[in-house]
Amino acid sequence: MTAQLPRRSLLWIMGALALVIAPHALHMPFWVPVVPAFAFAWRLRVYQGRWPFPSLPVRALLVFVSFAGVGLEFRTINGLDPAVALLVIAAGLKTLEMKDPRDYMAAVFVGFFLASAQLLFEQEIHYALLALTGLTGMTAALVARHQRAPAPGFPTPLALAARLLAQSLPLMLLLFVVFPRIAPLWSLPQSKSAARTGPSDTMAPGDIAHLGASSALAFRVSFADPVPAQRELYWRGLVLSQFDGREWSVPGFARMEADLALRGLRKVAVREPGFLPGGNSTRYSVILEPSNRQWAYVLGYPLSYDDTLRIGSDFRLISTSMVTQRKGYRVSSDLAAVLEPQLHPLRRALELRLPDGFNPRAVAMARDWRAAAESDEVFIERVLQWFRDEAFFYTLNPPLLGRDTVDDFLFGERRGFCEHYASAFTVLLRAAGIPARVVVGYQGGERNPYENYLLVHEFDAHAWTEAWIAGRGWVRLDATAAVAPGRVESGLGEAIGDEFLSDSPLAFERYRGVPLIALIRMRWDLVTYQWARLVLEYDTERQAAFLTRLLGGLSPARLVAAMLAAGGLAMLLVVLSLFGARPRRQREPHTAAYLRMCERLAAAGLPRAVGEGPLAYAARIASARPELALVVQGITDDFVALGYASATQPGLLARLRRASLSFRASAWLSGNFPSGTIRL
C-alpha cells in the first residue's frame, strides 16, 4: 500500500466520523462528543497549515484527561456506555496523530463500529437511517483514501460508496433472513444511560399523573382474536400490596421473584398462583418499547406466554431481562378467569395490612359502613356510589396532600388522578376487612385504523384496585371509572379535556382530532409498527415461519439451494453492472472515420503500433504498401486537418467519412480496386 494518505481523504474521514459520532451525543454526557469536535478543529488547522501537530506530551495529556473523565463520569469502564464513550474519544483523538494509512484504517473501522453501536441505543427507523448515512460516509472515506484525486470520468467517493452499499443490499437481506438467531453467547453490560420509563414499583400520589403528561409510546398490541371492549383493556403490570401511609410498593417477595427471573430461573413464583378458567380467552402479541424495567403487561390471567417471561405469584408477567430494547412477546389470556380462588392466610394478612396511625377518618368511616352493610359487595357498591355522588374531580394536576394522604383527599381536596382514587379506595377496603391491593399498568389503547393493532401510550398509565371476594377471587374495581367514566370508555383525552398533554403543545397525540394529523400519525405509526414487527422482532420463530412459507418447507438442502440461488443472482447483477456490455463512448465523427480506416488496415495485417502517430503511420503504410499510399495519406491529412486545424473547410468531414467508409484495405491489397476511384 502506498505510504501516503491522499490529502482530501482527511476531510472525508473527519466528516464521516462527525456523522457517526453526532447521534451518540443524544445518550452521552455532553463533554464526550466535545473531545472529537476539539480534535477535528485542531486537525483542520493542521490541514490548513496553520497549526502544528500536537506534540506527544499534549496528545498524552488529552488521552489521559479524557479517559480519566470517562472513568469519573461512569465510575466504571466496564459497560456499554463507557465503552462507546471511549471509542468516540479514541476516534476523535486518532485524527490528531493520523499520518500513515494504518491509522486511517483504524479510524475507519472504529467509525464502522460506532455507526452500528448506535443501534444498541436507538432502533427507530429514523435513527437506523441516520446510522446508515454514517456507514455510507465511512465507506466513502474508505474509498477516498484508495482513490486518486477526483477527475472527470471517475466516480466521486460518495457515489462509489453508495453504489457498493446498494450492490451489497441483496446479500444483506439474504443473510438477514437466513442467519440463525442464536441465543446470546454471554451476557453483555447493557446501557445504563437510557431513562427508565413507565410505572415504577412504588406509587406515591402524583406518580401516575406524571406519566399522564407523556405522549411516548409504551407498547403496541395486535390481537389475533377480536379486540376486547375498551373498558376491558386493563393491562396489569405491577401489584402493589404494601402501604406505608403515603406510598404503595411491591412487597419483598415480589422483588425476589423479579430477581429470580433475571437470573433465568424457570419457576419464580413464591407460591404457584391458582386460578379457575373462565373460558374467555384471547390471543395477542405485544411489542414493548424499551422501558429499562422488567415488567410486561398482560390482560387477565396469562394461560400461555413466551419463554422470555415468568409468572409471579400475583399473576403479573416478569421479563427475564431488563427491557432495554424493543421486546416482543405473545400471550394467550383468559379474561374471565377466577384469580386465586383460595386465599392463603399469609397472603390475606398481607393484603389487609394498614399502617397504624394514618388516615383515621377514612378507616373509621370504612369500619362504620362495613358494619352497616350486610356483605362485602354491598359495602363496595356503597363506596363506589359515594364516589359518584360526591363532588370528586378527575384531574392531572392534583393539589399536594398532607401526612394523611387518604383523609386529605377524601374529605378535603377531592381532586385527584387515578392513583389518588386507587389508593383511597384500597385503604377503605382494607379498613373494612376486605383484602385489597393496588394494581398499576395501563388502561385502554388507541386503535390504528390501517392495521389491526392498538397503541398504548404513557398517558394511558393507570392505577386501580383489586379486592378479594370469596368465590370470585380477585375482582377488579376502578374508583376512577366511578368518578370519570369517560376515562375508561374512551381514554384520557376525553376525560380531562384541555389538561390533556397541555405541557407539550407539539405532541401529535394532542391534535388527534384534526383529521390530517390523525392520518399522518396513524400512517407513520403503522410504518414504525411494521418496522418493529418485521425487522426488530424477527426471531427464530418468525424466521422458521417465514422460510417455511417462502420455500414451502424447511430442509437444509432446500435452504442451501435457495441461498446459493439468491446469492448467485445477487452477485450476477453486480457482475453484469461491472462487466456487462455498455454503450461505446461517443467519438467525434472525424475520429470515428479515421479509426475505421485503422481497423480495416489492421484487418489487412497492418495495425497501427502503440504510440504511433497518424502521420508516422501513414508514412509507414506508404512505404510498406505504396498502392495504398494515396488513399491513406488523403484520409490521414483530412483527419489531421479536422482535428487540429482551426479553420474548418466545408465538406471536409463528409469527404473523410465517405472515403473511410469505402476504404477496403484488404480488397485493395489483393488487387481488386474498386471500380469508382475515390476523389480526394
Tell me which residues touch another protein (CB under 8 A).
1-2, 101, 105, 109, 112-113, 115-117, 119-120, 123, 128, 131-132, 135, 139, 142-143, 145-148, 151-155, 160, 164-165, 167-172, 175-176, 179, 181-182, 184-188, 325, 535-538, 571, 574-575, 578-579, 582, 584-585, 610-611
**Which helix (H) or strand (E) covers residue 474, if one does?**
strand 473-477
- If the CB atoms of residues 110 and 659 are measured against another protein, the closer one turns out to be 110
CB of 470 to another protein, least distance (A): 45
Cell numbers 405509526 correspond to 525
- If the CB atoms of residues 186 and 644 are measured against another protein, the closer one turns out to be 186
Could you write out the three-class secondary structure of 346-386? Answer: HHHHHHHCCCCCCCHHHHHHHHHHHHHCCCHHHHHHHHHHH
Could you write out the three-class secondary structure of 534-597? Answer: HHHCCCHHHHHHHHHHHHCCCCHHHHHHHHHHHHHHHHHHHHHHHHCCCCCCCCCHHHHHHHHH
Cell of 223: 390481537
- If the CB atoms of residues 153 and 552 are measured against another protein, the closer one turns out to be 153
Give the whole-angstrom CA distance, residue 183 versus residue 326: 16
541: which residues sit within 8 A by CB, 6+ positions away?
none
Give the whole-angstrom CA distance, residue 295 versus residue 410: 31
CB of 163 to another protein, least distance (A): 9
Q: What is the CB-side half-sphere exposure of residue 324 using CA atoms within 13 A?
A: 15
- If the CB atoms of residues 102 and 382 are measured against another protein, the closer one turns out to be 102
Give the whole-angstrom CA distance, residue 405 versus residue 402: 6
- If the CB atoms of residues 172 and 667 are measured against another protein, the closer one turns out to be 172
- If the CB atoms of residues 38 and 127 are measured against another protein, the closer one turns out to be 127
Kindly compute the dihedral angle of the four CA atoms of residues 412, 413, 417, 419, in this order, to the nearest 10 degrees.
-30
CB of 328 to another protein, least distance (A): 11
Q: At what angle do helices 125-145 and 7-21 cross, to 10 degrees?
A: 170
- If the CB atoms of residues 187 and 555 are measured against another protein, the closer one turns out to be 187
CB of 455 to another protein, least distance (A): 22
CB of 181 to another protein, least distance (A): 7
CB of 59 to another protein, least distance (A): 23
Cell numbers 456523522 correspond to 19
285: which residues sit within 8 A by CB, 6+ positions away?
221, 222, 224, 328, 329, 330, 331
Do you know the residue count of the chain? 680
With beta carbons less than 8 A apart as the criterion, state whether 187 and 431 touch.
no
Name the residue type at position 426: T
Q: Which residues are catalytic?
A: 418, 462, 478
CB of 5 to another protein, least distance (A): 11
